[in-house]
Amino acid sequence: MPQLIDGKKISAEIKDELKEKVQRLKKDGIHVCLAVIQVGDDPASSIYVNNKKKACAYVGIESLAFELPKETTQEELVALVENLNGNEKVNGILVQLPLPEHINSDVIIRTISPDKDVDGFHPESVGRLCIGADGFVSCTPAGIIQLLKRSGIEIAGKECVVIGRSNIVGKPMSILLLRENGTVTVTHSRTRNLKEVTRRADILVAAVGKPKFVTSEFVKENAVVIDVGMHRNAENKLCGDVDFEDVQRKASAITPVPGGVGPMTIAMLMYNCVRAAEK
Ligand code: NAP
């Protein structure tokens, strides 16, 4: 059996560390506050927003909820974000994506002050990540680095292959692995001979968005396999981008779905909020 990389346990550790930190900050008169904005009532978004509010409550972060109707205009949303940018009480601003089609999410992301950009999606945050400067890092890839480090998996010098090049997962993931001195290859839908490339990986990160796409044929013996995917199958059960049953026979360590990468995203959001307050 491979080492099971336990995102539930590691995310709980991180949240407990942050809880203590938040208490210390409170003693110094610093209260951590996150503004969470949701436009419309998409059920999946409502679940994510609720989980974020619950995590805030656990860690001791105040959450200000803005639940706006789906008819909200782009101008109204921009005005709210600008108002929160100027509100000294608010340390972090999170706009739950996806937004309704009539709102350009790029415009909204760019409106959030880089000092309060706890999702790490603002171009300034992304630029800072690329040049190795201090800044907020997108929560899912940041969580994966924590999973690896806290599971005792060395990144430096390893062949790392990322499947997927999205702005929120694949690209920041590859830059973070590079920052940790991995030798990084980024693959995508136009990559030729994908299996040959992924079989070079000591650490393989699957962020492809296709259920059970990665089978044992993609994986080198004893590789570490990180599954970012999140899908519901016909029986409403969660599964990832990796065919867990098949791949676990070859991997030396693997993340399960659920209980792997998923819980880390919210833990790292909490981490970013605390950092925003410390700044
Ligand atoms: P995305 O924006 O759809 O990106 C998918 C990437 O996979 C694209 O870069 C695409 O390449 C590539 N791809 C698609 N088909 C491919 C193929 N046949 N061969 C090689 N590459 C292929 O998805 P995402 O937002 O990065 O999310 C990826 C997965 O992670 C999804 O399942 C999502 O639900 C999940 N997710 C989970 C969390 C979490 O907290 N656990 C957070 C975010 C996302 P092109 O660029 O060429 O199109």
Parallel, antiparallel, or unpaired: how do β-strands 92-95 and 33-39 relate? parallel
> ∠ at Cα 185 (8, 150), nearest 5°?
25
Mean of pLDDT values over 154-181: 98
Mean of pLDDT values over 54-77: 98
Mean of pLDDT values over 160-176: 98
Do 40 and 148 sit in the same domain of this protein?
no
Q: Is residue 202 a part of any domain in this protein?
A: yes
Do 105 and 195 sit in the same domain of this protein?
no
Catalytic status, residue 52: yes
Q: Would you state the structure tokens that stand for residue 159, as one six-digit string?
A: 């062949």
Catalytic status, residue 146: no
Q: Is residue 75 a part of any domain in this protein?
A: yes
CA of 189 to the centre of ligand 1 (A): 10
Backbone angles phi, psi at 225, to 5 degrees: -120, 120
CA of 209 to the centre of ligand 1 (A): 4
Q: Is residue 275 a part of any domain in this protein?
A: no
Q: For residue 234, is pLDDT > 90?
A: no
Do 83 and 156 sit in the same domain of this protein?
no
Residue 39: the pLDDT is 98
What is the number of domains present in the chain? Answer: 2
Do 81 and 179 sit in the same domain of this protein?
no
Q: For residue 31, is pLDDT > 90?
A: yes
| Contact status, residue 82 vs residue 52, Cβ threshold 8 Å | no
Classify the phi-psi angles of 164: left when phi > 0, otherwise alpha if psi is within -120 to 50, otherwise beta. Answer: left
CATH of the domain at 148: 3.40.50.720
Q: Is residue 269 a part of any domain in this protein?
A: no
Do 146 and 105 sit in the same domain of this protein?
no
Cross-strand partners of 220: none
Residue 124: the pLDDT is 98
Provide the domain limits for residue 74: 29-117
Q: Is residue 222 a part of any domain in this protein?
A: yes
Q: CA gyration radius for the chain?
A: 19
User: CA neighbours within 13 Å on the CB side: how many for 101?
Assistant: 0
59's CB contacts (< 8 A; 6+ apart) are 15, 18, 19, 22, 32, 270, 274
Mean of pLDDT values over 3-13: 98
Q: For residue 106, is pLDDT > 90?
A: yes
Q: Is residue 18 a part of any domain in this protein?
A: no
Q: What whole-number distance in Å separates Cα of residue 147 and Cα of residue 141? A: 10
* Residue ranges lining ligand 1, Cβ < 6 Å: 140, 163-166, 168-170, 187-191, 194, 207-210, 228-230, 241, 261-262, 265
pLDDT tens track for 114-152 = 999 999 999 999 999 999 999 999 999 999 999 999 999
Q: What whole-number distance in Å separates Cα of residue 46 and Cα of residue 39? A: 10
Q: Is residue 19 a part of any domain in this protein?
A: no
Mean pLDDT estimate for the chain: 97
Do 226 and 143 sit in the same domain of this protein?
yes
Mean of pLDDT values over 85-105: 97
Q: For residue 233, is pLDDT > 90?
A: no
CA of 182 to the centre of ligand 1 (A): 21
Mean of pLDDT values over 219-228: 98
Q: Which atom of ligand 1 is nearest to the CA of 240?
A: 32
Residue 279: the pLDDT is 87
Mean of pLDDT values over 78-104: 98
CA of 54 to the centre of ligand 1 (A): 27
Do 100 and 150 sit in the same domain of this protein?
no
Banded pLDDT at 194 (limits 50, 70, 90): very high
Do 205 and 152 sit in the same domain of this protein?
yes
Q: Which atom of ligand 1 is nearest to the CA of 165?
A: 9
Do 190 and 258 sit in the same domain of this protein?
yes
Residue nearest to atom 41 of ligand 1 (CA): 262
- Residue in 103, 119, 128 with CA at minimum distance from that of residue 39: 103
Do 160 and 236 sit in the same domain of this protein?
yes
Q: Is residue 130 a part of any domain in this protein?
A: no
Residue 218: the pLDDT is 98
Do 154 and 244 sit in the same domain of this protein?
yes
Mean of pLDDT values over 175-182: 98
CATH of the domain at 43: 3.40.50.10860
Catalytic status, residue 119: yes
Classify the phi-psi angles of 182: left when phi > 0, otherwise alpha if psi is within -120 to 50, otherwise beta. Answer: beta
User: CA neighbours within 13 Å on the CB side: how many for 69?
Assistant: 3
Q: For residue 241, is pLDDT > 90?
A: yes
